[in-house]
Structure 1
């Protein structure tokens, strides 16, 4: 089957390589964003893969229609593509566009499903392949596969895992489609829900109201795509990139966010809600990436307190 892949995201690279090596990939289409490097275009150019940069000054629909005609493609796979496909493309006779979405639709529709699933502490996710319609992440489902989501799995690790698994999932879906066993299942709109694009406020740690597990989920959801979960210490903004759960004995009640141990041998430990604790492993500020040990070496001591905002008075 001759296919084209529409993508702006590195998650599509394993699929691009797979279908290029099989000889079924006719072209990759990607969109151009001024001053932003396009890893899909760079990869295709380096590996001799035909790649079309969508010209924003020309009709998107016309460019894709011409690409389908000139390549003789029979199917389009949309995998992390920023442009919404117009209805004129979706109505091309005997041509189907299938989208790859990293959730078990109709749950977690929207542009950042992995962030929200990790932040909300889901224990499983999945890969959904659905026929596209004129709504975002709508349209009947061709194939789904559930995938376990581990409690300490970061956004980057999960994205990489799903990107590799997607190759076999797409192959299963295409086999089903090619064998005319393509009985599509309509999405249940009653059970559907979506989340918006991630904003800065979604990255802020709320020490008073989030548990240790919730803070760890947020940190994992932010690593590395969003640079870390945001907090403040001694009037300076920091992004926490990695934490791990910790159990401490013989401790008194501490205000959430309080650094309870700052030990050069064991690391930096912070109190959370319900007298639970996290070890701070990696942070970054505007100048450097720091380990918890490095922060201790720079003078941070037990008794200092992480804050929700820069306006809060620091405790020394």
Structure 2
């Protein structure tokens, strides 16, 4: 079977490698152009391009996927099937019609749930105990084509996006290989999706990174899991941005305002939310590396009653000043 493979990020690399190991070397690998990335804005190749180079595969990086030039290149390959994994471009009707067996996509959700660009993050945001992977045939609507195969995968209550995405990529790659074999054998399922059950998972926005302590501890915890490691979830403390990276629910009874430190000792750092307590396990202060909460407590000199503010713009903390000579010293203060 002659294949085209379309993919770009790290998530797509296991799928490409698994297809090659299974005897399906793509005749052409299509990936996004090299782009500036990171803080230094250094031009770098997408992960799929690097994997294709290592495998000795032909690579094509069109600027506009649905251009006539790109369509001509697709026709020249004379592929039986095109496989797409996180390519980051809409496949137009003209391109969909070219491979004889169509286009097969790997999507990390149990379609029709979580159609869109960020399915696994939204599953974590919603606190799902189970989600999975789906292979399906593309049509002209986003993630709405007939399903080939599905596999369910559990989500632990402490699971974080950056940690589980490689697992979904590996398991999805195996599911994709099984699907390709069924297509080659002419017995692949094509199960229509029930549009009435569809939910959607759009790209996350910048404001989704701003922590709101008035929300419940469970909702905040799920947001932190879903946005780890990037773009992250931020709060403010004493005028500095703090990236909250790992938390767990705490049984503390409500005893303070949302964002208020209600426990700060060797037993842990617990913050009051709009509903319940939330223990911070790991965080990253502004211009610092990641650290455990207990290490942060010692350096930041936190005390019960201190308050984390919501994320977003952090008002600079007022500078510490000495009392005016006309001010009375605080109660219990010994001027000597």
User: Residues of 2 paired with 1:178 and 1:58: CA distance?
Assistant: 26
Q: Are 1:233 and 2:237 matched, yes or no?
A: yes
- Could you list the per-position Cα deviations for residues 225-262 of structure 1 after superposition, in whole angstroms to 9, with x for gaps in the alignment? 32x212111122221111123345xx661212111222
Which of residues 187, 192, 215 is equivalent to 1:186? 192
- Name the structure 1 match of 2:25: 25
Note if contact 1:111-1:196 (Cα within 8 Å) is conserved in structure 2: yes
1:60 is displaced (CA, Å) by 4.0
- Could you list the per-position Cα deviations for residues 66-90 of structure 1 after superposition, in whole angstroms to 9, with x for gaps in the alignment? 24534x5321111001111121111
1:313 is displaced (CA, Å) by 10
- Name the structure 2 match of 1:285: 286
- Name the structure 2 match of 1:9: 9
- Name the structure 1 match of 2:249: 245
User: Residues of 2 paired with 1:245 and 1:61: CA distance?
Assistant: 54
Q: Are 1:43 and 2:44 matched, yes or no?
A: no
What is the root-mean-square deviation of aligned Cα atoms in Å?
A: 2.5
Count of aligned pairs between the two proteins:
308
- Name the structure 1 match of 2:220: 215
Task: List aligned pairs for 1:168-179, cutoff 5 A.
Answer: 168-179=174-185
- Name the structure 2 match of 1:297: 298
User: Residues of 1 paired with 2:221 and 2:65: CA distance?
Assistant: 45
The structure number with the bigger radius of gyration is 2
Q: List gaps (5 residues or longer) in structure 2.
A: 38-43, 318-336
1:211 is displaced (CA, Å) by 1.7
Q: Are 1:56 and 2:56 matched, yes or no?
A: no
TM, length-normalised to structure 2? 0.83
- Could you list the per-position Cα deviations for residues 2-58 of structure 1 after superposition, in whole angstroms to 9, with x for gaps in the alignment? 32221111111112112222331223210115313322222332x233142423178
- Name the structure 1 match of 2:110: 104
User: Residues of 2 paired with 1:61 and 1:297: CA distance?
Assistant: 62
- Name the structure 1 match of 2:40: none
Which of residues 149, 161, 164 is equivalent to 2:155? 149
User: Residues of 2 paired with 1:59 and 1:109: CA distance?
Assistant: 22
Note if contact 1:97-1:132 (Cα within 8 Å) is conserved in structure 2: yes
1:285 is displaced (CA, Å) by 2.3
1:220 is displaced (CA, Å) by 0.6
Aligned pair in 2 of structure 1 residues 139, 43: CA closer, same or farther (>3 Å)? same
User: Residues of 1 paired with 2:187 and 2:57: CA distance?
Assistant: 31
Q: Which moved more, 1:159-168 or 1:93-102?
A: 93-102
SS at match of 1:243: strand
Q: Are 1:260 and 2:262 matched, yes or no?
A: yes
Note if contact 1:61-1:86 (Cα within 8 Å) is conserved in structure 2: no
